[in-house]
Structure 1
Amino acid sequence: MEIVKGVYLHPIKTKKFKNNHITCRFSSPLKKQSVARRALVAQILETANATYPSLQSFREKLAHLYGAHFSTQVSSKGQVHILDIDINFVADRYAVNGDSVLVEVFKFLHDALFNPLVSVVQYQQKLFQREKTNLIHAISSSMEDAFDYSDWQVKKLFFRQDSLALPPYAIPDLLQQETSYTAYQEFQKMLQEDQIDIFVVGDFDEYRVLQLIHQYPFEERHVELNYFYQQHYSNVVSHQTEFKPNQQSVLQLAYHALTPYGSKDYFSLLLLNGMLGMFSHSRLFTEIREKAGLSYQIGSHLDVYTGLLQVYSGIDASNRDRTLQLIVKQLTDFKTGCFSIDLIKHTKKMLKTSIVLLEDSPKYLVESTYRLNYCAAMDVDRWLTEIDKVSKAEIVKLAGSIKMQSVYFLEGV
């Protein structure tokens, strides 16, 4: 439902949840120069505004709204950077004295968007510096984790587009460069230029929601979003070894797995990833962790938007070569058909169960609706049907197209 050009309302009516949920999503092309600014905006949005100028007053208001929960999240889908404002709150039927929590929540969201805590044309300096320091500290602490750090490094090796390798919340060096002025200007740009999608999930009066949204001073905008990234395979496999003071070592492998989203081969790729390292019955777990005892943590991850299939393994440094050999062997087995029908059946069951369980989450309904509208996705019933139809021969054929592109080893010393 278009409010103005580039701003959309998505009412998702259901009575399966006791709480209602709102996600206000800003979507913009992923750019290295704006990632840090948008991360800082997310921090400030959930902290204070001109109506509730302190963290205490901000939280007190949420408490008065029957304990509503307000949070922000930054993520990316391929070449699109996303900032979400999420609000969970009780449905009006549970409120006492005829209170309309829905109306008050939309007023609260309005204040967060259109009444920021500013000094002239920048965020209030004290608030900004505090949140900037907090975010830099949080990301720096995360980068001390061997897996988080090596994940970033292998993506730097794999991607030829710098922005795709960045964590959604940026890195400390980029955050340090931003000021209260640049962050505030980015927020104003978001309000004026981002695609905005407002999802309302739960039991509510749709007409009333529409009335409340039309009170927001949104202006028309034109946004071109390209979610999917296609990177050609290079015959040169990139390698990097880095030494860091750490008790553990991490081996990260990046494979080129470019398969069109929603295509027939796409479902074979989902099953391949499931059989390789997504579940506890997967080959990486059973063969390398359980039987060989080489890894204390291992698995695989598929990014369908960029064609990156990633294998990660926490190991002792002395086991690097043996672990690499066994990971390559598992993929070779899939390429030659050396795996059982039972493994396929078990993986299909696990994939279908995970999707059905996710349907019990309001945020999943938001994600599903967003993908259906913008990413050529499909509904759950068709997804389940297509998974069921995948044959062993199709998996073998798909596995043959998977090629190693990057190897990163973080050696703990």
Structure 2
Amino acid sequence: MYAWPASEVPALPGQGRDLRIHDTATGGLVTLDPGPVARIYVCGITPYDATHLGHAATYNAFDLVQRVWLDTKRQVHYVQNVTDVDDPLLERAERDNIDWVALAEKETALFREDMTALRMLPPRHYIGAVEAIPGIVPLVERLRDAGAAYELDGDIYFSVESDPNFGKVSNLDAAAMRLLSAERGGDPERAGKKNPLDPMLWMAARPGEPSWDGGSLGRGRPGWHIECVAIALDHLGMGFDVQGGGSDLAFPHHEMGASHAQVLTGEFPMAKAYVHAGMVALHGEKMSKSKGNLVFVSQLRHEGLDPAAIRLALLAHHYRADWEWTDQVLQDALARLDRWRAAVSRPDGPSAEALVEEIREALANDLDAPAALAAVDRWTAAQEESGGTDTGAPGVVSRAVDALLGVAL
């Protein structure tokens, strides 16, 4: 599967700072010190109802991670999946009387268009669950043969008790895990499971549903968590720098994936930092596909809204915060974009060297994009009030805002 084209990232004078970021597993800030190539895996969409602003906020956060690393003169090996076969996708296809493959392809194409418009840097590897199946089957077989998985009515389940480190990503108690498992795709009430939290690795073929040859597993399709594990291990290996996604993925998805990988490899941890973005609300409730209270990037674009304004609206909120999309959020972003563009179109301005360092420091400090925006606002205000004599400053500001914040002025 192909991703989307990369926008050029301007080179800046000097060098960025190492990233300090909040790690869900430890509950505090960690300073990441990748090698020459920083490795990151971000969980992708299930391709229906794409791309809503909750998606956009999540991928914006991890786009900033890439930009911070690139500014330190590192390369970035970024991997993202597409869950292009799953129960919610099949249910939506049935509801809308459309072939599930066609629905997945249509929504994935729309997602690519939105990511391109928002100047999100693409992954090096963009892998669909279906194309990953040949690599998933051997992993499930290995877990089963090692006694870490078991069969139940033809389905294969992972035993969470096989991982002594299970629970160290989300740090939730059993009751909270069981509740979230039921809400987020698990089946804790199914009779016959060794532990209610055990997740499915391989679902045996159901009548009327797609299935693939699973070798000794029989025909079926993969569970949600093992999909990402297979892709991440294949392209990044263990101990990669960041596992990212929305905060609703900490449990069960990232918890289960970590356990799968740790049992398979005997290594711990799967990722050096588990990083989670907050949720976006509309009319007082979290945007969700089940509630249908979604605002789509494509809808805003088709209404003529500049994608740079959408990006500024996202950047105005700290990536870990839960926040609400309102008309005022949009109006503030449009006004800021107008001010910034007017500022960099002038022939000169105050020196921009200190501003570049302020942006770098803000982003290195747990991706504090609101602080970075405030720094640019101050430079813009100073230029409006008293001008300046540095003829190169507007160009430096424009390049810095593009390279570090992904906003084209």
Task: Please say whether Structure 1 and Structure 2 have the same fold, judged by a TM-score greater than 0.5.
Answer: no
Shorter chain as denominator, the TM-score bin is under 0.3
The normalised TM-score by structure 1 is: 0.25
Higher strand share: 1
The normalised TM-score by structure 2 is: 0.25
